[in-house]
Amino acid sequence: MVPAGQRARMSLPSEFVNKCRSDNSDGLTCLGKGRREDIHRKWGIREYPQAPENSLVCPSQALIAAAVLRPLKRVAVIIAGWGVCPAWLAVRRWEDRGQAEMGEGMSKRLKVQLGSEAEMEERAFNNPYPDYQPYGNTASASTTLPTPSDSEDNRCSSASPQRDDSLPFESDGQISSYFNKKITSKIKDLLQQMEEGLKTADPHDCSAYTGWTGIALLYVQLYRVTKEPTHLQRSLDYVKRILRNLNGRRVTFLCGDAGPLAVGAVVYHKMKNDSESKECVAKLLQLQRIVLASESDLPDELLYGRSGYLYALLYLNTEIGPETVPQSVIKEVVESIIQSGKNFSKEERKTERCPLLYQWHRKQYVGAAHGVAGIYYMLMQPAANVDQEILMELLKPSIDYVRHKKFRSGNYPSSLSNETDRLVHWCHGAPGVIHMLMQAYKVFKEDKYLKDAMECSDVIWQRGLLRKGYGICHGTAGNGYSFLSLYHLTQDKKYLYRACKFAEWCLDYGAHGCRIPDRPYSLFEGMAGAIHFLSDILVPEKSHFPAFELSPQMKENKEKQSS
């Protein structure tokens, strides 16, 4: 049913639209039977034969939205009535050989975008927090774009407000003692709940995404933040359990064997057990033959594809040492990802507009988990050592192609063909695309990428407290990481403030009536992810999105070397 006051947005012949507007001041055409027949003859529009008679006969209450694809000899009509007319929506595809149901591609062209605001409200809570304002200043925090070459000290001083005791951090960006205590106490409480809940978790799920590797990764993070040896030992306990149950079916960090092997190598390295660490690295490198196999149907995205394997290689070189994985191995994986993108772009005849194009399950996804944003982000990592020529000629125009798909709100579609502004998750939408944009700003040093990233941040601030839960993939914690990353880049306290407010929301874990995820204690869907985010709030300058971002120290060193 079309709500009053909302209009259908359709692709219509311009002459038809102009004629409709001349007939009716509000831009819609209310048609009686005779008027309909005139338009049918002129524009070749046929009505859906099963439509209720009164669906188009009420001249003051009926709305017609029609689209004509004459070159394809396909005609479709979408009609929705309101008021005393019954709600009615029909889509019909016509071909020369007779009538057939409209295909998926056609229906996307004719999608009516209605009720979007109501749907947004259903997906996210209204943000109850006031946005950041510097102490003693009625204006919002500075949004002056920093240059990539600005020193951290200069950027920090330009964006620092005076001390305000109501803020959760000090003027130098350190978390206040009061907020630190609240977070530390909550982490302890949630860890107890998580460990109790994991007693009934799937013993065979070894993935980082929803399984035991994610829990091991959490304890590595807690050791990094607190330096407590018990956390590292706890991680080792999980690693030993995981490595006995690998199945070899998948090769990525998040959903395959590369994750358990990479985390195992890092944990053994931190425990000074180099022989076990090297054995894990060797097994991980053996997976390369699957990744590079010419007959493989492996995708390129992050969760199940080549980019997910590439992350595992970069993770090892970040956490253990730069030559843990030889550059020749990384180069081969990078080249396979690039060649795959070039091939598919050629198939889709988009070589000029988007030289690197990818699909997953026959959809050209945009987001970080399954889409081009995650793939481009990995290829732009300094540790991937992609040639500057490839970055400029292939990656940059592809990123710009995605940028032009941005909604007016500043959000991004889940796939290139999707015209619905719905999802604000790391996996689909602005919270994933923002990382691609920030990395593009670092690599290409053009302000447009940072400007778009800031727009993403505003969308996430407005619509990022998700009803789906508190997790990382499609929850509040994952959205909060976008603020921490933007704070790293700009040193603008506004983004640290926003991250702290999303953390404050997570401190009331379970109190908002969010949906309970399928794996409620896991890293990417559940409680472990929220704990990881809260622990990163304690040391925001060292924070990083797990299984996606590389640790800040290594990234900064590589970026200095490449600049």
- pLDDT tens digits, residue range 114-151? 445 555 558 999 999 999 987 655 334 444 566 555 54
Point out the annotated binding site for Zn(2+).
427, 473-474
Instruction: Identify which of 150, 249, 201, 186 has the alpha carbon closest to the alpha carbon of residue 507.
Output: 186
- pLDDT tens digits, residue range 188-240? 999 999 999 999 999 999 999 999 999 999 999 999 999 999 999 999 999 99
Rounded distance between C-alpha atoms, residue 45 and residue 180, angstroms: 65
Residues in Cβ contact with 259 at an 8 Å cutoff, skipping those fewer than 6 apart: 207, 208, 213, 252, 253, 312, 547
Residue 10, Ramachandran bin (φ over 0: left; ψ between -120 and 50: alpha; else beta): beta
- pLDDT tens digits, residue range 467-523? 999 999 999 999 999 999 999 999 999 999 999 999 999 999 999 999 999 999 999
In this prediction, residue 122 carries a pLDDT of 85
At 523, list the tokens: 């890293």
- pLDDT tens digits, residue range 33-56? 444 444 444 444 444 334 443 333
Point out the annotated binding site.
427, 473-474
74-81 and 62-69 strand pairing: antiparallel
- pLDDT tens digits, residue range 279-324? 999 999 999 999 999 888 999 999 999 999 999 999 999 999 999 9
Residues in Cβ contact with 480 at an 8 Å cutoff, skipping those fewer than 6 apart: 464, 498, 499, 502, 503, 506, 533
Rounded distance between C-alpha atoms, residue 87 and residue 80, angstroms: 6
Percent of the chain with pLDDT over 70: 71
- Residue with the larger pLDDT of the pair 131 and 159: 131
Model-level pTM? Answer: 0.76
3-state secondary structure of 348: coil
At 3, list the tokens: 């709500």
The mean pLDDT of 332-353, rounded to a whole number, is 97
Task: Output the DSSP codes for 357-410.
Answer: ---BTTB-B-STTTSHHHHHHHHT-GGG---HHHIIIIIHHHHHHHHTT--TTS
In this prediction, residue 111 carries a pLDDT of 43
